[in-house]
């Protein structure tokens, strides 16, 4: 696939997905998309650097510790959902 297209996809997933997560809408669906996004970021970009941030000739180079934490949070939201204090519960809860 074209890298520019994938950059737009990642940007939309992270921006609009993050906005939906903040508002508590479509939590499981968005969390799955963000978890996949973080796994691909770790695999394609950060895995060769390692887990922890390092100093290299280019300066500070970030490891995948933040991406792994974000993946874990998205994974937990995908499994457990957003709970009762969310817009998902208010909008889609059947009495």
Q: What is the pLDDT of residues 14-46, one digit of tens each?
A: 999 999 999 999 999 999 999 999 999 999 988
Instruction: Report the DSSP pairing between strands 54-56 and 59-61.
Output: antiparallel
Check pLDDT > 70 for residue 95.
Answer: no
Q: Where are the beta strands (DSSP E) in the chain?
A: 54-56, 59-61
Domain region containing 41: 3-92
- Total domains in the fold of the chain: 1
Tell me 56's DSSP state. E
Check pLDDT > 70 for residue 94.
Answer: no
* Neighbour tally for 75: CB within 10 Å: 16
pLDDT score at 32: 98
Check pLDDT > 70 for residue 87.
Answer: yes
pLDDT score at 59: 76
d(CA 59, CA 51): 16
């Amino acid at each position: 696939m074209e890298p520019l297209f994938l950059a737009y996809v990642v940007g939309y997933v992270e921006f609009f997905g993050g906005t939906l997560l903040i508002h508590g809408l479509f939590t499981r669906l968005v969390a799955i998309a963000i978890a996949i996004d973080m796994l691909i970021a770790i695999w394609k970009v950060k895995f060769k650097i390692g887990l922890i941030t390092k100093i290299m000739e280019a300066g500070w180079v970030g490891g995948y510790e933040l991406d792994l934490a974000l993946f874990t949070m998205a994974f937990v939201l995908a499994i457990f959902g957003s709970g009762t204090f969310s817009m998902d519960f208010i909008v889609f809860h059947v009495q």
